[in-house]
Amino acid sequence: MNEKEKYSISPTGEKFPLPDPEDYKQEFETLEKRVNQEREKGREIVVVMGVGFVGAVMAAIIADSTDEKGNPSKFVIGMQRPSVRSFWKIPLLNKGISPVKAEDPEVDPMISRCVKDKQTLIATYTYDVLSLADIVVIDVQCDYLKEDLGNVRTGRTEMAALESSFGIIAEHIRPEALVLIETTVAPGTTEQVAYPIMKKIFKNRGIESEPLLAHSYERVMPGRNYVASIRDFWRVCSGINEEAKTRVVKFLNEVLNTEKYPLTVMDKPIESETAKIVENSYRATILAFLDEWSLFAERNGVDIIKVIKAIKVRPTHSNIIFPGPGIGGYCLPKDGGLGVWSYKHILGFEDDIFKITPLAIDINDTRGVHAAQLTRDALRNMGQPIAAAEILVLGAAYREDVGDTRYSGSEIIIRKLAEMGAEIRVHDPYIDHWWEFEKQDSYPGVGESKSRFFRNQEKLAEISVQNDLNAALKDVEAVIFAVRHEPYLDLQPDDVIKAIGHRAAIIDCFGILSDEKIHRYFELGCEVKGLGRGHIQRIKEKVRRL
Ligand SMILES: NC(=O)c1ccc[n+]([C@@H]2O[C@H](COP(=O)([O-])OP(=O)(O)OC[C@H]3O[C@@H](n4cnc5c(N)ncnc54)[C@H](O)[C@@H]3O)[C@@H](O)[C@H]2O)c1
């Protein structure tokens, strides 16, 4: 092990030594003692596997739940692999600090309250803790690896880690423990992947009973309503048999606000798994659908933003939304892929029934390229080549007012701009490190960076996200409004141009600029372009005539 591999470093730079092999025994003995004390208080022991974006908050919600008398009825242990990348989450959680940065003001106090005051939440790195659980909640990731940009079909589901988790769980748990899979999985996973793995291991352990497997997917939305999107929201669930179903319904009723947001119980786990995939494929599809109309609008003097506003008043069409420069987040770019992959590789079909789902993902994955081209065209109209131009991208996150960069449209904009030779600056009020660039050799995995789909990407490893907007603007040649972060919505053209120091190309990817602002940017000598905003040309001509 080299020096670097002995530590796990948190996003704020705190360095935590990884556990040594001899630490495990001591860790388990401490856990066992604590669990015995908690059982004496009548509490159920819940192990949440994977304390990432979903697991950390779900663990706190379970730990914060109470029985009818208002007493905590669960003791929760967050379990996390001691990997270099993720181990830091354990010591942080044990100090009562959230391992996920959240804009929801409920997250930090809830985790602190459960760890320090109620003492219903701790975290550990040892898989042995599984043997102490009454309930295991699986919140580890299940990635979908894409081989090409804009072709989800050539990708594959990363099943190995999940399969090994099922094996590890079956080797450790008590036969009567409920195993609740919350991870978004390829439909069929609970019954056709998890069940056989666990059944076989149970048999080897001499256990006759069926593994009690259940599935219930997360609909979490990181952002201002992070906690509510888990606790105060409708859930779908199912179990592999009647007992598993009864147990999962009981558990979710105890920890979530199901009185107000009743559960939907499906007959079989594949139905609950499919519901998640269809739900997200539907969303990805309605977003992708507007891509062609956005181009139509740009080329025919139409402002798609006003078109959408006009349509939205009709109640049946109220969820029509403008897609911006791409659809990111962890779920929408991959979930449809899990479904298409499963049809062939878990469920065994060879024919090709999927047309819309993969196409939607492919469109969404490549929308950022067009935003980069608009920037090139705006600079060209100002008589300036894109090569060597200093360009500021406003917003690195995948959506407004969150600090999550996973699969954000801005990444593709930047990679395409770099390919054309531009110099990139980035500003985001919610993000300190953009690992997709800073660690592009190894993040999200070795050989998985989107840098491999573009040339000229090396220097992007030097990107540092700036938090001072005025400093970031100084002397740039183009500004791209990429995300609808609140601090960007009220920016006044005069202030922007003053901070830059001269006229510039202004690109609006998200309907951020009002017509008045576009008008003013032209008056200030700028060139303006926007995704789906074909009416900009009219404003330009009007300013010229003045
Ligand atoms: N993030 C979202 O907005 C969101 C929304 C709905 C559903 N989901 C689904 O929830 C699941 C989890 O997503 P996430 O965003 O929390 O991912 P994440 O990467 O933030 O967290 C997963 C965690 O699990 C840990 N882990 C991986 N393998 C492990 C193992 N064998 N044992 C213990 N820990 C392990 C990882 O180190 C990581 O900390 C995914 O299936 C995702 O699709 C996510």
56 Cα to the center of ligand 1, angstroms: 9
pLDDT value of residue 86:
92
54 Cα to the center of ligand 1, angstroms: 6
Helix (H, G, I), strand (E, B) or coil at 118: coil
Q: Is 161 in the pocket of ligand 1 (CB under 6 A)?
A: yes
State pLDDT tens for residues 261-310: 999 999 999 999 999 999 999 999 999 999 999 999 999 999 999 999 99
State pLDDT tens for residues 35-85: 999 999 999 999 999 999 899 999 999 999 999 999 999 999 999 989 998
Residue 425 has pLDDT above 90, yes or no: yes
State the residue for tokens 């109220």: 318
pLDDT value of residue 3:
61
The pLDDT-based confidence of 2 (bands split at 50, 70, 90) is low
DSSP per residue over 471-533, as a string? HHHTT-SEEEE-S--HHHHT--HHHHHHHHSS--EEEESSS-S-HHHHHHHHHTT-EEEETTB
Cβ neighbours around 540 below 10 Å, total: 18
Closest CA to 542 of 513, 517, 526, 522: 522
Cβ-contact 219, 233 below 8 angstroms: yes
Q: Is 165 in the pocket of ligand 1 (CB under 6 A)?
A: yes
The token pair at 402 is: 């969150």
In the chain the first and final C-alpha atoms are separated, in Å, by 70
Closest CA to 132 of 35, 219, 226: 35
Residue 491: how many CA atoms within 13 Å on its side-chain side?
26
Task: Give the number of the atom of ligand 1 that is nearest the alpha carbon of residue 335.
Answer: 43
Residue 1 has pLDDT above 60, yes or no: no
Residue 478: beta bridge partners?
A: 391, 505
Average pLDDT of the chain to the nearest whole number:
96
> Per-residue pLDDT averaged across 528-542, rounded?
98
pLDDT value of residue 402:
86
pLDDT value of residue 4:
61
H/E stretch holding 413: helix 409-419
542 Cα to the center of ligand 1, angstroms: 52
Residues in Cβ contact with 423 at an 8 Å cutoff, skipping those fewer than 6 apart: 388, 389, 390, 391
DSSP per residue over 220-245, as a string? ---STTHHHHHHSS--EEEESSHHHH
* CA dihedral sign of residues 475, 480, 485, 491: positive
Cβ-contact 411, 449 below 8 angstroms: no
State pLDDT tens for residues 222-273: 788 999 999 999 999 999 999 999 999 999 999 999 999 999 999 999 999 9
Cβ neighbours around 404 below 10 Å, total: 22
